[in-house]
Every structure is written in structure tokens, then in C-alpha cells.
């Protein structure tokens, strides 16, 4: 088993094909195919299903990918250690967050110390955050519920209540609070399935004997905000993420507090990355 064979396998797996892996590694497709073929032949094992120009991992391939993820992550950490100053000057850190709001002050502190580090940020719900961390598509996650597993390093950023909000033109905007029973009679605009805010709201309402049903389901917080601002329905959000929008009025929900924890997380195995450590350090300064 040679390093080049492992690398070829790893990039075919994470890129989803031989051509894309060849482009990523600046090699020819036949060279990549040959390395993977030799690896499979040497150990008499099939790592990829090759059908109709589509490449998918076999069960053995999936197990192998988990190993090579760790292998190449260790290699990257070694490179980071040997070139720490360069990594903190010119590196890239990838963040997936349920809301950019929670990171504004943190990123301000981080960029003041590391102005040349490139930051790539995407948004997604909690399921997206966890998935992208496990698949190594993100270095840092920010989400509305602290995971209970042992795979993550976590830092709690805040805990804020879930509230309702409405357009200033909506009659409900005259209210300062609403009960679950009243919410059940209103046109609710809810996030997609997988949203922790939605799940906590529905669980709390069910505990109070109320079944909440949304009339509109929208993917993403901004989509919900724009629908509500148009006066079509009532939205739900954690108070920290409500922000400042003159079109909208926040309304508290009566009953036991529904608190949303907001946390920064990363895989424990990646917590010693220089850039990950630097971002956690910036977050600690803002708590």
C-alpha cells in the first residue's frame, strides 16, 4: 500500500469521481484510476461501485474513507504545526452556522488578529451543521443546540428564549404576548423539518396540550422573515436572532421559557488546528 494509492482513493471518494479527483490533484484521470485499481487488486477488495459512469463507495470503501479522513487530517495538522505562522497568515477556515448573527462580534475579533485568513461561511440548520462537520466540509459549526455526543468540542455562546414575530401591519402586532392556544389559531410560518427552533416550539406546545401546524414551511430564516414581513403569517425565532428589522414586531410566548442554546462546535479530532483554536479563542473573549 503506497501513499499515492491512499491519496488517490481518498480524493475520488470525497470528490465523487475520478475526473474531479484528477483535477483536484493536478493529475491525469488514468493515473488516478491506476492507483485505485492497484490498491484494490493488492488487497483483493472492491472500494468503489462503478456503474454507468457513476462512482459510489462500497461498504468497505465507506470504512476506508473514515480511516483516510483521519489519516489526512493528521497530515494536515502536522503541516499546520510545521508552518504555524504561515497558516495563521494565509489559511482558510470554513464555518457553517444556523445564523451569522451569533458570529459577528467573534469574527470581528478574529479578523483583527488574523486579517489575511480567508473565511468561508455557509448557513444551514442543525442537521446540516453536524453533517458537514462529520464529512469534513466545515471546520467550525454554530448551532442552536449543544450536541450530547462525545465527538465534539463545544463552547456555549448564549441562551435566549424563543419568541413569535409579526409584521407591524398585522393585527397581532398590537399584542405583547401570545399563548400556545392563540398561536394555534394563527397562520404560522415555520422553518423546515430539522430546525431545532421549530422542534422545541412544537414539543413545548405539545406538552401544553396544543398541536401547532404551520400554514407555510420555508427553508431558511431569511425566507421566513420575508414572508412574515409581507404580512402573510406569524414567524418563530430565538430572540438573539430576531435582530433589528423595523418591519417586524417581536411578541413573547407565554408559558415556561423555551431557551435556545447557541454553541460553537468542532470535531474533537480537529480542535488542535491552529485556525480552529484561534477562532475559539476569539469566541471566549466575547462571552
Q: Do 257 and 267 reside in the same domain of the chain?
A: no
pLDDT digits (tens, 9 = 90+) for 203-244: 999 999 999 989 999 988 889 999 999 999 999 998 878 878
Pair type for strands 152-167 and 118-123: unpaired
Q: Do 204 and 247 reside in the same domain of the chain?
A: yes
CATH of the domain at 173: 3.40.190.290
In terms of Cα–Cα distance, which of 129, 133, 248, 234 is closest to 191? 234
Among 36, 59, 82, where does a domain finish?
Answer: 82
Q: For helices 3-15 and 29-43, what crossing angle results, to 10°?
A: 110
Q: Do 143 and 269 reside in the same domain of the chain?
A: yes
CATH of the domain at 126: 3.40.190.10
pTM of the prediction?
A: 0.58
Q: Do 162 and 255 reside in the same domain of the chain?
A: yes
Among 61, 82, 103, where does a domain finish?
Answer: 82
Q: Do 126 and 204 reside in the same domain of the chain?
A: no
pLDDT digits (tens, 9 = 90+) for 60-70: 999 999 999 98
CA 192 to chain centre: 15
Q: Do 162 and 251 reside in the same domain of the chain?
A: yes
Q: For helices 18-25 and 3-15, what crossing angle results, to 10°?
A: 120
Q: Do 196 and 240 reside in the same domain of the chain?
A: yes
Among 63, 82, 101, where does a domain finish?
Answer: 82
In our burial notation (b when 16+ CB lie closer than 10 A, e otherwise), range 145-164 reads: bbbeeeebbbbebbebebbb
Q: Do 166 and 241 reside in the same domain of the chain?
A: yes
Q: Do 33 and 89 reside in the same domain of the chain?
A: no
Instruction: Give the residue numbers spanning the domain of 240.
Output: 158-261
Instruction: Kindly state the percentage of the chain with pLDDT values over 90.
Output: 55
CATH of the domain at 18: 1.10.10.10
Mean pLDDT over residues 45-60, rounded? 88
Q: Mean of the per-residue pLDDT values for the chain?
A: 89
Instruction: Kindly state the percentage of the chain with pLDDT values over 70.
Output: 97
Q: Do 266 and 147 reside in the same domain of the chain?
A: yes
pLDDT digits (tens, 9 = 90+) for 104-137: 889 999 999 889 899 999 988 888 899 999 888 8
Number of domains the chain is built from? 3
Q: Do 66 and 199 reside in the same domain of the chain?
A: no
Q: Do 145 and 266 reside in the same domain of the chain?
A: yes
Amino acid at each position: 500500500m503506497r501513499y499515492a494509492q491512499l491519496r488517490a482513493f481518498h480524493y475520488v471518494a470525497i470528490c465523487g469521481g475520478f475526473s474531479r479527483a484528477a483535477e483536484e490533484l493536478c493529475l491525469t484521470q488514468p493515473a488516478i484510476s491506476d492507483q485505485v485499481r492497484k490498491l484494490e487488486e493488492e488487497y483483493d477488495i472492491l472500494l468503489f461501485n462503478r456503474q454507468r459512469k457513476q462512482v459510489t463507495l462500497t461498504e468497505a470503501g465507506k470504512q476506508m474513507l473514515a480511516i483516510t479522513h483521519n489519516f489526512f487530517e493528521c497530515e494536515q495538522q502536522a503541516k499546520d504545526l510545521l508552518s504555524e505562522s504561515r497558516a495563521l497568515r494565509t489559511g482558510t477556515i470554513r464555518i457553517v452556522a444556523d445564523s451569522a448573527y451569533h458570529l459577528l462580534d467573534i469574527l470581528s475579533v478574529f479578523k483583527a488578529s488574523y486579517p489575511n485568513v480567508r473565511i468561508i461561511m455557509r448557513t444551514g440548520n442543525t442537521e446540516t451543521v453536524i453533517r458537514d462537520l462529520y464529512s469534513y466540509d466545515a471546520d467550525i459549526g454554530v448551532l442552536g443546540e449543544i450536541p450530547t455526543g462525545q465527538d465534539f468540542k463545544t463552547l456555549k455562546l448564549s441562551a435566549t428564549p424563543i419568541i413569535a414575530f409579526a409584521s407591524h401591519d398585522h393585527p397581532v402586532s398590537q399584542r405583547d404576548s401570545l399563548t400556545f392556544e392563540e398561536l394555534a389559531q394563527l397562520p404560522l410560518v415555520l422553518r423546515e423539518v430539522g430546525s431545532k427552533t421549530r422542534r422545541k416550539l412544537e414539543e413545548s406546545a405539545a406538552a401544553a396540550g396544543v398541536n401547532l401546524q404551520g400554514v407555510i414551511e420555508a427553508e431558511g430564516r431569511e425566507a421566513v422573515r420575508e414572508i412574515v414581513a409581507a404580512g402573510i403569517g406569524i414567524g418563530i425565532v430565538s430572540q438573539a436572532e430576531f435582530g433589528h428589522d423595523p418591519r417586524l414586531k417581536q411578541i413573547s410566548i407565554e408559558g415556561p421559557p423555551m431557551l435556545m442554546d447557541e454553541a460553537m462546535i468542532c470535531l474533537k479530532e480537529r480542535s488542535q488546528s491552529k485556525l480552529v483554536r484561534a477562532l475559539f479563542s476569539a469566541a471566549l473573549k466575547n462571552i
